[in-house]
Chain A
Amino acid sequence: NAGVMQNPRHLVRRRGQEARLRCSPMKGHSHVYWYRQLPEEGLKFMVYLQKENIIDESGMPKERFSAEFPKEGPSILRIQQVVRGDSAAYFCASSPLSGGRIDTQYFGPGTRLTVL
């Protein structure tokens, strides 16, 4: 059973471009979480999704950021018109549990986004 997969592992974008980060949860997991780790800071929750639904996006910046988890395929975190402050490591985690309770999340290796 493969773990949580994220791609790309490293992504370089110029200011103003779009960044798309992908996360494939573990097999059988239908809950996905995205976190951002800024330099010298702890991981911060961004968004919690189930298949085709955004459950909690309280940690998402109000503009330029969006996330989806379609019925088929990976979850996508999309950042439009990137700025240098978006440079960070973005981690995805998946969980098999429902009902909003989190017992265990399995983390992917992260995508390191660098904005030039």
Chain B
Amino acid sequence: KQEVTQIPAALSVPEGENLVLNCSFTDSAIYNLQWFRQDPGKGLTSLLLIQSSQREQTSGRLNASLDKSSGRSTLYIAASQPGDSATYLCAVITGNQFYFGTGTSLTVIP
């Protein structure tokens, strides 16, 4: 069974810092991997989708990498802003299902 782990569980950084969020998964037979943002009391917003054949995707200040063989993905956020404060979820698709990590709660301090 696929298990997805995110480290750290919580992270607090001053505004302007670059930061990395980590995601690991136990079964490398994934279809794709997706990073989401979840704001308190709200739904999920898709940030980046990486197909299993890809190694990274970029969108603005966000860069996500994927290393299937080691079962790892990272989400790099450049020049963090207070508006980036949210919970970031990593999810892998194996078979027909999404498997989510428990998330990293990010606080960017002005």
Contacts and interface: CB of A to CB of B under 8 A. Distances in A.
Whether A and B are associated in the same complex: the answer reads: yes
Interface of A: 33, 35, 40-45, 48, 55-56, 59, 91, 100-110, 112
Contacts of B98: 33, 35, 43, 45, 102, 105
Contacts of B96: 48, 55-56, 100-102
A86 B79 CA distance: 40
B41 interface: yes
Interface of B: 4, 31-32, 36, 41-46, 49, 89, 91, 93, 96-103
- Interface of chain B, main secondary structure: strand
8 contacts: A40-B102, A43-B91, A45-B98, A55-B96, A102-B93, A103-B49, A109-B43, A112-B41
Contacts, number: 52
B90 to A, nearest CB: 9
Nearest to B42: A109
Given A56-B97, A102-B96, A105-B98, A42 B103 contact: yes
Contacts of B43: 91, 107-110
B105 to A, nearest CB: 11
A42 B93 contact: no
A45 B44 contact: no
Contacts of B44: 91, 107
Contacts of B101: 42
B103 to A, nearest CB: 7
Q: Which of B41, B43, B98 counts the most A-chain CB atoms under 10 A from its CB?
A: B43
A106 B34 CA distance: 12
Given A102-B93, A104-B49, A42 B41 contact: no
Nearest to B101: A42
